[in-house]
Amino acid sequence: MFELTIALKYLVPRKRSLSTTLISAMSILVISLVVWLVLVFLSVTAGIEKNWIKKLTSLHAPIRLSPTQDYYNSYFYQIDALTAASHYTYKTIGEKYESQISDPFFPDVDAELPPYLPPADRLNNGMIRDPVKDAIRSLTMLQKEIPSLSFQDYEIGGALMHLFLTSSSSSLSQMSYLLSIPDQNPYFHDLCLPPAEGPLDFDLPPEIPPPYIYFVQKKLQIPDLGPEIPAILPKNYKDSGAKFGDRGTLSYTTPSAGSTQEQRLPFRVAGFYDPGILSVGNKCILVPQEVSRDIYGSTQTFSPDGTPTNGIFVWINELSKAEEISKKITLLLEEAGISSYWKVTTYEKFEFAKDLLQQFRSDRTLLLLIAVIILMVACCNIISLLVLLVNDKKKEIAILQSMGASFKSIAAIFGFCGIAMGVISCLLGSLLAVFTLHNLDSLVSFLSKIQGRAAFNPAFFGNSLPNQLSWEAFLFVLIATPILSLLAGLIPAIKASRIRPSSSLRSE
Amino acid sequence: MIFKAINISKTFPFPQKTTLFSNLSLELEKGQSVAITGKSGVGKTTLLHIFGTLEEADSGEIHVAGQLLTPANGSKFRRKNIGFIFQSFHLLEDFTLLENVLMPALIARTPKKPDFGLHLLEQVGLADRAYFPAKLLSGGEKQRAAIARALCNDPDLILADEPSGNLDSSNAEKIGSLLLSIVEQHKKGLILVTHNPDLATLCQKHYSLAEGKLGISL
């Protein structure tokens, strides 16, 4: 292609055309700097967003199955409060799953059922439909297809916590939420803070088990503390002086025949965890599942952030597939005929995360828009450079036309020049961005030193800024820069193609 | 008939309405050379540019190799059927002589091997300058290279605008002889616009452009 040959010749800097060379170098430099800035900024913000989403979904799984009102109104749920086999108490999802029988009503033992009780949802064979066991069965089936998937039922209860701090010989009290320890959560290990008293991880089960939570080959081990409950507290308690082994009680009330009765459960601090970004995170104590079930069954607790107090968490290793997997789960629940009993929600629609994630999305759109505008302004340099080049090369354009070069070919030469400048700038800017991201920590500490305080607050951004190049951002500049450069090159290209060869060739 | 111009008219409306020529016709057989002379400003170069579709006529028709030239197909004919030689040589200064000579083939999307370019340069006595940048050559050498370039796509017609205008008399004579011998050797049609009466007389036909009409020059 002769157009490319000519364009490359025009792009090579020459002493003879110093002004064109200088403007060309300036244009490339400006676009490179903009590409660099856009890439670094988008990469860091994408990294921060990823970290926040990870924090949002580490404890609270990215997919959640919560019982619907249909479930709570159903015979399946209501019957437990009316039957002796269920001790006349409602059952949690976990208890329902572990129950040997789906229908605890025995006419010989139990009283006649009240007329307000809805009819049981029965299968064709007359057996009662069990939405819990069917849901767990569906998830187990899906687990065979997606081995990285894991799930666990959870309960959120409420209790008043009294904690005695040995470090300061003082005590503190706080109303707390009790969440069952997510021992099936594959990411729970990353949330646990390492104890000062010994290692968190073991390759083999230790001969003398430590009195705190630990992991054997990444599998959570909860210590047996006798009558005391092992409790895992959020990390802010550690910051307040709580230590491993500190003792306390959890108080809650249970209804009795005539009044309510206070129950006190002794506990010992067996670990600390990072609750991530949960509105109730700092008040959320992790306790063994049987404890959270008991308390859940005794007290009516509601979560202020709108999280259902009983449900099933589903963890996956690729957050981007959350929506796809949630659809699969819904389909399986539909096939099992229990979809009306369950609401499948992905992390993007969680009550406590929805606004934050929407804000992230809006910010990302806004940032991309700003990036496009900055790139457009930078690419405008190409217009001025190429107009100058066209004026400089008028005679050569006419010579090419006399040899038969068409208008399209002439326009293509300057279009190529525009794209080439865009691509060169894009590559140069990307290299700069990779280098900057690689040395981001040094840059941040340098900025902090200049300012005399932390340039980025660790509370918001973590101990170090994310320094992974965002492939989305790279793809964006890789596509946007050459396109904008081409568009910028079009104006000079059209100008070049309109040159009248006759007048240019005789202008000497 | 390799070239036929019928009733060509051209008027410049600005700054003052000036009719350069009206209803001017010219025919050229294959291998025939025609010289057009005339005073400065009579429109010789404009006429040559119109013949080569670098400029549009107000009216009239031009046929090259039996086909009518239009603004739409002008560039195609310039690529395949017409070779230009200019008074100011008009080589691409940043390219070597060889690249210059082979450029028309590249533009016509029929790239030719360097050997072909070297052969053309050899015919004009510039084979040893093939890899020199055009800007380093003398005027005479540049014009010889321009002749070689005009032959690259084996055109039917060569249009030469004052090929010896910027050369000294010795070089002008050499270039004139070379051009005519090559045209004769390759059986090309040649329309030559010149002030040089000696060069004009070397052509088979010699017209004089005056008051917008082409007349046979004696």
The region of weakest confidence among A141-150, A305-314, B48-57, B131-140 is A305-314
> d(Cα A366, Cα A351) in Å, to the nearest integer?
24
- Yes or no, beta carbons of B95 and A14 under 8 Å apart: no
Enclosing H/E stretch for A249: strand A247-255
Q: Is A401 domain-assigned? A: yes
Question: ipTM beyond 0.85?
Answer: yes
Angle, in degrees to the nearest 10, between helices A407-438 and A471-497 = 150
- Yes or no, beta carbons of A505 and B54 under 8 Å apart: yes
Same domain for A498 and A398: yes
Q: What is the mean pLDDT of residues B19-39?
A: 90
- Yes or no, beta carbons of B107 and A403 under 8 Å apart: yes
Same domain for A421 and A336: no
Q: What is the identity of the amino acid at A214? A: Y
Q: Which residues of B touch A508 (CB under 8 A)?
A: 88
Whether A280 has a pLDDT exceeding 70, the answer reads no
- Does the CB of B55 have a partner CB in chain A at under 8 Å? yes
What pLDDT, on a 0 to 100 scale, did the predictor assign at position A304?
A: 61
Please name the residues in contact with A425: beta carbons below 8 A apart, sequence gap of 6 or more.
A27, A28, A31, A32, A35, A378, A481, A485
Q: What share of chain A is helix, strand, coil (3-state, %, to 5)?
A: 50, 15, 30
Whether A507 has a pLDDT exceeding 60, the answer reads no
> d(Cα A382, Cα A377) in Å, to the nearest integer?
10
Q: Is A310 domain-assigned? A: no
Query: What mean pLDDT, rounded, does chain A reach?
Result: 87
For residue A17, give the chain B residue with the closest CA: B94
What pLDDT, on a 0 to 100 scale, did the predictor assign at position B123?
A: 86
- Yes or no, beta carbons of A404 and B75 under 8 Å apart: yes
What pLDDT, on a 0 to 100 scale, did the predictor assign at position A266?
A: 93
- Yes or no, beta carbons of B90 and A2 under 8 Å apart: no
Q: How far is A498 from chain B (nearest CA, A)?
A: 12
- Does the CB of B54 have a partner CB in chain A at under 8 Å? yes
* Exposure string for A80-108, b = 16+ CB within 10 A, e = fewer: bebbebbeeebbbbbbbeebeebbbbeee
CA B56 to chain centre: 17
- Does the CB of B136 have a partner CB in chain A at under 8 Å? no
Same domain for A178 and A84: no
> d(Cα A356, Cα A365) in Å, to the nearest integer?
14
Given A9, A404, A500, which is nearest B107 (Cβ)? A404
Q: Which residues of B touch A398 (CB under 8 A)?
A: 90
* Greatest pairwise CA separation for chain B in angstroms: 51
Whether A63 has a pLDDT exceeding 90, the answer reads yes
- Yes or no, beta carbons of B106 and A2 under 8 Å apart: yes
What pLDDT, on a 0 to 100 scale, did the predictor assign at position A133?
A: 94
Given A2, A9, A404, which is nearest B78 (Cβ)? A404
Q: Is A297 domain-assigned? A: yes
Instruction: State the best of A394, A402, A409, A498 to mutate against chain B, taking most chain B CBs within 10 Å.
Output: A402
Q: Is A396 domain-assigned? A: yes
Other beta carbons less than 10 A from residue A227's beta carbon:
8
**Number of domains composing chain A:** 3
Other beta carbons less than 10 A from residue A451's beta carbon:
9
Contact call for residues A499 and A410 (beta carbons, < 8 A): yes
- A42, A43, A420, A471, B181 from A376: Cα distances, Å: 17, 20, 16, 21, 57
Contact call for residues A489 and A380 (beta carbons, < 8 A): no
> d(Cα A149, Cα A144) in Å, to the nearest integer?
9
Whether A219 has a pLDDT exceeding 80, the answer reads yes
- A31, A152, A356, A409 from A374: Cα distances, Å: 9, 48, 26, 30
Whether A76 has a pLDDT exceeding 90, the answer reads yes
- Does the CB of B132 have a partner CB in chain A at under 8 Å? no
Same domain for A496 and A427: yes
Q: Is A79 domain-assigned? A: yes
Q: How far is B46 from chain A (nearest CA, A)?
A: 8
User: Among candidates B108, B82, B103, B89, which has minimal Cα distance to B191?
Assistant: B82
Please name the residues in contact with A11: beta carbons below 8 A apart, sequence gap of 6 or more.
A24, A417, A420, A421
Per mean pLDDT, which of A123-127, A442-446, A464-468, B116-120 is the most reliable? Answer: B116-120
Same domain for A44 and A117: no
Report the predicted TM-score, pTM, of the whole model to 2 decimal places: 0.71
Given B84, B93, B153, which is nearest A402 (Cβ)? B84
What pLDDT, on a 0 to 100 scale, did the predictor assign at position B98?
A: 94
User: Among candidates B3, B58, B50, B42, which has minimal Cα distance to B188?
Assistant: B3
Q: What separation, in Å, do the N-terminal and C-terminal C-alpha atoms of chain A show?
A: 30
Q: In terms of DSSP bridges, do strands A342-346 and B82-85 run parallel, antiparallel, or are they unpaired?
A: unpaired
Q: Which residues of A touch B102 (CB under 8 A)?
A: none
Q: What is the mean pLDDT of residues B99-126?
A: 92
- Yes or no, beta carbons of B54 and A409 under 8 Å apart: no
- A170, A235, A322 from A266: Cα distances, Å: 17, 20, 39
> d(Cα B177, Cα B143) in Å, to the nearest integer?
13
- Yes or no, beta carbons of B45 and A5 under 8 Å apart: no
Same domain for A161 and A124: no
Same domain for A167 and A71: no
What pLDDT, on a 0 to 100 scale, did the predictor assign at position A466?
A: 83
Same domain for A165 and A89: no
- Does the CB of B76 have a partner CB in chain A at under 8 Å? yes
Q: How far is B147 from chain A (nearest CA, A)?
A: 13
Whether A267 has a pLDDT exceeding 90, the answer reads yes
- Yes or no, beta carbons of B55 and A409 under 8 Å apart: no
| Residue B84, SS3 per DSSP | strand
What pLDDT, on a 0 to 100 scale, did the predictor assign at position A350?
A: 81
User: Among candidates A365, A389, A397, A372, which has minimal Cα distance to A498?
Assistant: A397
Torsion of CA A179, A185, A191, A193, to 10 degrees: 80
Same domain for A329 and A240: no
Q: Is A311 domain-assigned? A: no
- Does the CB of B86 have a partner CB in chain A at under 8 Å? yes
Chain A residues with at least one Cβ partner in B under 8 Å:
2, 5, 9, 14, 395-396, 398-407, 409, 500-502, 505-506, 508
Size of interface A-B (CB pairs under 8 A): 64
> d(Cα B206, Cα B218) in Å, to the nearest integer?
8
- Does the CB of B139 have a partner CB in chain A at under 8 Å? no
- Does the CB of B206 have a partner CB in chain A at under 8 Å? no
Q: How far is A404 from chain B (nearest CA, A)?
A: 4
> What domains appear along chain B, each with residue ranges and CATH number?
3-216 (3.40.50.300)
For residue B155, give the chain A residue with the closest CA: A403
Strand ordering across the sheet containing B33-37: B82-85, B157-161, B189-193, B33-37, B205-210, B213-216
Given B45, B78, B93, which is nearest A402 (Cβ)? B78
- Does the CB of B79 have a partner CB in chain A at under 8 Å? yes
**Confidence tier at B218 by pLDDT (50, 70, 90):** low
Same domain for A446 and A322: no
Same domain for A412 and A334: no
| Residue A170, SS3 per DSSP | strand
Same domain for A277 and A195: yes
Domain limits at A279? 154-305
Q: Is A159 domain-assigned? A: yes
Other beta carbons less than 10 A from residue A330's beta carbon:
16
Q: Which residues of A touch B55 (CB under 8 A)?
A: 500-502
Q: What is the DSSP string of B151-218?
A: HTT--SEEEEESTTTTS-HHHHHHHHHHHHHHHHHHT-EEEEE-S-HHHHHHSSEEEEEETTEEEE--
- Does the CB of B103 have a partner CB in chain A at under 8 Å? yes
Q: Is A101 domain-assigned? A: yes
- Yes or no, beta carbons of B79 and A403 under 8 Å apart: yes
